[in-house]
Homo-oligomer: A and B are copies of this chain.
Amino acid sequence: MNRIRFLQMIFSCCFAFALTTANAGATKAAPKKPPRAGAEIIATSPASDWRDVAPTDLLVMDLPQGQVLIELAKRFAPAHAANIRTLAHQAYYDGLAIIRVQDNYVTQWGDPNGDDAKLAKSLGTAAAKVPVEFSVAYKGLPITKLKDVDGWASVTGFVDGFPVAAEPKQNKAWLTHCYGMVGAGRGEAVDSSTGAELYAIIGNAPRGLDLNITVVGRVLRGMEHLAALPRGGINMGFYDKPEQYHPITKVRLAADIAENERPRIEVLKSDSKTWADLLNAKRFRGGWFVHSFGHTDVCTTSVPVRNKP
């Protein structure tokens, strides 16, 4: 193993820490006792710091390239979540397609033949009109706040594992458009989203979209199947030709899948000490890192998901 290969391995090692674990140690404003490494924090976390995902909140999207798991944010978008459940239950999304991939922005899916008469009928018992769910009341929201300064909102943090921003003085909180968040496309009218057309964020967090569109959930697994697709053309990433579409095999609610065939995953509780420790390990780095900012932000780290032991 010569020098360059060695470098590459070290680099790979340390980049992994950067993403998912982080080491102990710091260069400034570090806690007296350096945080433990992220991998160690997770490995030694109590089972009680992890939670199941309710089968009624878990969308299982099967694509030829792999499976995508999405948790519905029922606390933030209950009406959209209900409609998406109904659509999935009715197999609405089956055979639809990914029709748009715009670099550093969104992957979007829905009915590519929106102009045929079957569409309206295909909504079945799902609602064709769903209320705006851009924000919820801040008061009473069980938010685990980040102490870190954020330029977009006076409060940021996590609720039920979802990244959240808030303005307490306005009694308003909302899901923020971090990587992997899923929203419901809308038209000019703010209440024109139904959940029939969805998008996932595949680039740097476009937080200017917050409070302008209903965010409905988060990809827990399989982002690589949405993010690694060929980008569409200059028409905002919409594919120009039907042969560019990526088919959706099927989308099911986990509750509609036989129990022994459901994905067996669990999500770290974002009000747990384990999550607080992980965030701190991101603020104060060590090992390969020679500089720590003593800072993180709501979109830099996402709440871990793992296979159920």
Contact = CB atoms under 8 A, between A and B. Distances in A.
Contacts of A6: 187
Nearest to A119: B4
Main secondary structure of the interface of A (DSSP, over half): loop
Interface residues of A, number: 85
A30 interface: no
A68 interface: no
- Candidate in A111, A114, A203, A207 with the most chain B CB atoms within 10 angstroms: A203
Contacts of A186: 7, 11
A103 B179 CA distance: 10
A306 to B, nearest CB: 12
Contacts of A190: 290
A4 B119 CA distance: 8
7 contacts: A4-B197, A151-B151, A207-B297, A208-B293, A211-B291, A224-B231, A228-B229
A204 B300 contact: yes
Contact of A2 (B119, B235, B282): B119
Given A204-B203, A230-B228, A300-B204, A120 B12 contact: no
Interface string A28-44: 00000000000000000
Nearest to A120: B2
A146 B1 CA distance: 46
Given A16-B236, A103-B224, A235-B12, A7 B204 contact: no
Interface in A126-183: 134, 148-152, 178-180
B204 A4 contact: no
A289 B212 contact: yes
Contacts of A290: 190, 211-212
B185 A8 contact: yes
Contact of A197 (B7, B106, B111, B292): B7
A4 B111 contact: yes
Nearest to A230: B228
